[in-house]
């Protein structure tokens, strides 16, 4: 069947064909580290909610160790923490993840990176996942993080900084803009 308009978008189908386990609960009861909650929202270029976004998160444990056989960095694995989560945005583009604050990990050239969480966004009209990071606003290690150092414009750098909720210290807030004047920094991976 030909497409008469000459174009088509992908999805929305993530809610129905890409299952996920556990939703936004990455940390189990026995997981070591500082428990935190990530409250996020995914918006389009016009500031409207993306109601079918799928958000994947990948992070190190509190000791700075990934749950991956190729991670040969110092640090102890936490058998109760996989470090991976997948959540769907709700009708207003909001998502929530219960996890732990990650430790610092080594990057290229053995440089230490600030605590961060890798984030991938999948949504209708997005043919290739969008990759970004969440950093914790106010963390002293941000000043020497080699990836953050690549983002020279401080306004752009703010787009990947989660802010601590003043009413709940364990809650971190992040808004992801897929385009427009407040577009989140995305990485070409």
Does residue 130 sit within a domain?
A: yes
CATH number at residue 107: 2.60.130.10
Q: Residue 182's pLDDT is what?
A: 95
Does residue 127 sit within a domain?
A: yes
Per-residue pLDDT of the chain (189 residues; tens, 9 = 90+): 444 444 444 444 444 444 444 468 899 999 999 999 999 999 999 999 999 999 999 999 999 999 888 888 878 899 999 999 999 999 999 999 999 999 999 988 889 999 999 999 999 888 899 999 999 999 999 999 999 999 999 999 999 999 999 999 999 999 999 999 999 999 998
Contacts 24+ apart (CB under 8 A), 65-70: 65/103, 65/105, 66/105
Does residue 118 sit within a domain?
A: yes
Domain carrying residue 126: 33-177
What pTM, to 2 d.p., does this model score?
Answer: 0.87
Does residue 5 sit within a domain?
A: no
Does residue 184 sit within a domain?
A: no
Does residue 8 sit within a domain?
A: no
Does residue 10 sit within a domain?
A: no
Does residue 100 sit within a domain?
A: yes
Q: Residue 2's pLDDT is what?
A: 45
Total tally of structural domains belonging to the chain: 1
For 66, half-sphere exposure in the C-beta direction (CA atoms, 13 angstrom radius) is 17
């Amino acid at each position: 069947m030909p497409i008469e308009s000459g174009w088509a978008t992908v999805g929305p189908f993530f809610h129905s064909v890409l299952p996920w386990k556990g939703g936004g609960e990455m940390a189990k009861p026995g997981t070591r580290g500082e428990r935190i909650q990530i409250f996020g929202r995914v918006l389009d270029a016009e500031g409207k909610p993306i109601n079918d976004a799928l958000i994947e998160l990948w992070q190190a444990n509190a000791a700075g160790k990934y749950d991956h056989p190729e991670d040969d960095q110092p640090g102890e694995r936490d058998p109760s923490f996989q470090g991976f989560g997948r959540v769907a945005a709700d009708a207003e583009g909001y998502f929530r993840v219960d996890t732990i604050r990650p430790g610092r990990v080594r990057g290229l050239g053995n440089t230490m990176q600030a605590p961060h969480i890798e984030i991938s966004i999948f949504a209708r009209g997005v043919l290739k996942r969008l990759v970004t990071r969440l950093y914790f606003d106010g963390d002293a290690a941000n000043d020497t993080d080699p990836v953050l150092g690549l983002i020279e414009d401080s306004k752009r750098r703010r787009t990947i900084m989660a802010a601590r909720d003043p009413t709940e210290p364990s809650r971190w807030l992040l808004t992801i803009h897929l385009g427009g004047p407040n577009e989140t920094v995305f990485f070409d991976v």
